[in-house]
Amino acid sequence: MDLAIPLCAQHRMRFQWLRMAAILMMIGSSIFVIISFFLPPDYLAYAVFSFFGLLLIGFVTWLVAGQLLRPKLINESLGVFRGAGEHFLAQLPQKPPSLAALG
């Protein structure tokens, strides 16, 4: 199912900033690899943990920021999603009573 999700300027900016922060964290984690070449062996573990920690946080941020809507149910004729804001949902037509049980 392909969706075109319109975003207001505020939410588009938030989405872009989170994605940019994630990219910067993942790229920035490589600094700890460079630093590790100049550290004594006793401190090498700190650089390695910092590298993997920042890389993991960046990756998780990328995944979370990329989820504008989360699928709840998708079949041949229906898509039900979570994650839309109340302001966006207020602009949509009312849900038919037959779909009320799907949340």
- The per-residue pLDDT for 101 is 61
Reduced to 3 states (helix: H, G, I; strand: E, B; else coil), residue 98 is: helix
Over residues 35-85, the pLDDT tens digits come to 888 888 888 888 889 999 999 999 999 888 777 777 888 888 777 888 777
Which residues, in sequence order, are CB contacts of 97 under 8 Å at separation 6+?
Answer: none
pTM: 0.63
